[in-house]
Amino acid sequence: MGRVLIIGAGGVGTVVAHKVAQNSDVFTEIILASRTKSKCDAIAKAIGGNKIKTAQVDADNVEDLKKLLNLHKPDLVINVALPYQDLTIMDACLACGVNYMDTANYEPKDEAKYEYKWQWAYQDKFKEAGLTAILGCGFDPGVTSVFTAYAAKHHFDEIQYLDIVDCNAGDHGKAFATNFNPEINIREVTQKGKYWENGKWVETEPHEIHKALNYPEIGPKESYLIYHEELESLVKNFPTIKRARFWMTFGQEYLTHLRVIQNIGMARIDPIVYNGVEIVPIQFLKAVLPDPGELGENYKGQTSIGCRIRGLKDGKERTYYVYNNCSHEAAYKETGMQGVSYTTGVPATIGAIMFMKGIWRKPGVYNVEEFDPDPFMEQLNKQGLPWHELFDINLEL
């Protein structure tokens, strides 16, 4: 039904390549491009069957991207490089008449700020070009946003309180490692906390608010309030929400390492001069930390991510918890990657299926909750991320 170009050959790109190749009835041609072509070649070889073409691209360079797009003429680009490349890839897509999808919102390299304003500013350009841009189609953002849209469509007249809960109860056996790109991950979790309450944002110190929450099949885990990008679009698209928060579990060991990394200046994102060479400390740190793509082999345990929602249905208050649990071992067995890459790459593939089938296709720039959640929810069950619902339970929040 269409040609797809995947940009980025890290943990998430590997999973997307596997899952897209499994859906050959939808994707007639698959091209995998990244900065380091040898990584694309290795992924294509592991999948086998000459299903995937590979290419080299510098996604920071619009002209380089345009050459690639004009050569392969894909219907859709799945951007699973880094958030820094979102705008250059969107520019190239506009120039070449190609549709766009990503899993993380744009952020400038010199400022760790998670805002959709840069990408929402492309709304008119995509609309006028008759092209679709789907933003944030991983797990969170992505599935959590679709879960919220599904709850609003089927179970609530009014969503009032939304808590997104993200637990990784896995153990990779390393003293310290991040589950996705270390630079992006550390920038995200060391920033101040922020949540939405009564029409405005409330800021907290990093990790200031925390409590133990019970996760299905896992049990209690200390969960920390952090800011996460889907809160911005969800409170805009569901204006009845009075309070929206995001919670993520961290182990004590992880937090201690993080504190030390920050205290000694290794989380800095501004360049410093070392021996006459300019380096950015957090980028140097990435080079010495374990590669998230290599964590899979010994990863045990599971992730559990979901939405806990309170609101009104037929004039009565009700609660609802919708979640997915994903086993790191099962993810590794299927794709060679751990659960965090898997839970991001599978929804990106489903978003691409939704686009190719014409179900999620409208000119402009949209967050995933602005599309029909039902066909996406159906695919989650088929593509490896089954979900579960609990009604009228104690949400603990």
The residue ranges that bind ligand NDP (CB under 6 A) are 8-13, 34-36, 39, 57-60, 80-83, 85, 103-104, 138-142, 180-181, 184, 292-293, 340-341, 344
CB of 199 to ligand NDP, least distance (A): 26
Judge contact between 76 and 98, C-beta under 8 A: yes
- The helix/strand count (H/E) of the chain reads as 14, 18
CB of 233 to ligand NDP, least distance (A): 12
**Residue number of the CB atom closest to ligand NDP:** 10
Alpha carbon of 88 to those of 46, 83, 281, 308: distances in Å? 29, 10, 25, 36
Q: Give the distance between the most distant pair of CA atoms in the chain.
A: 68
Alpha carbon of 26 to those of 1, 69, 238, 367: distances in Å? 5, 20, 32, 22
| CB closer to ligand NDP out of 292 and 373 | 292
| CB closer to ligand NDP out of 105 and 311 | 105
| CB closer to ligand NDP out of 57 and 225 | 57
Q: Rounded to a whole number, what is the distance in angstroms from the first to the last CA of the chain?
A: 44
DSSP states of 240-263:
T-SEEEEEEE--HHHHHHHHHHHH
CB of 340 to ligand NDP, least distance (A): 6
CB of 335 to ligand NDP, least distance (A): 12
| CB closer to ligand NDP out of 293 and 384 | 293
| CB closer to ligand NDP out of 4 and 9 | 9
Q: What is the dihedral of CA 266, 281, 56, 66, to 10 degrees?
A: 110
Judge contact between 335 and 299, C-beta under 8 A: no
CB of 80 to ligand NDP, least distance (A): 5
CB of 313 to ligand NDP, least distance (A): 29
| CB closer to ligand NDP out of 151 and 368 | 368
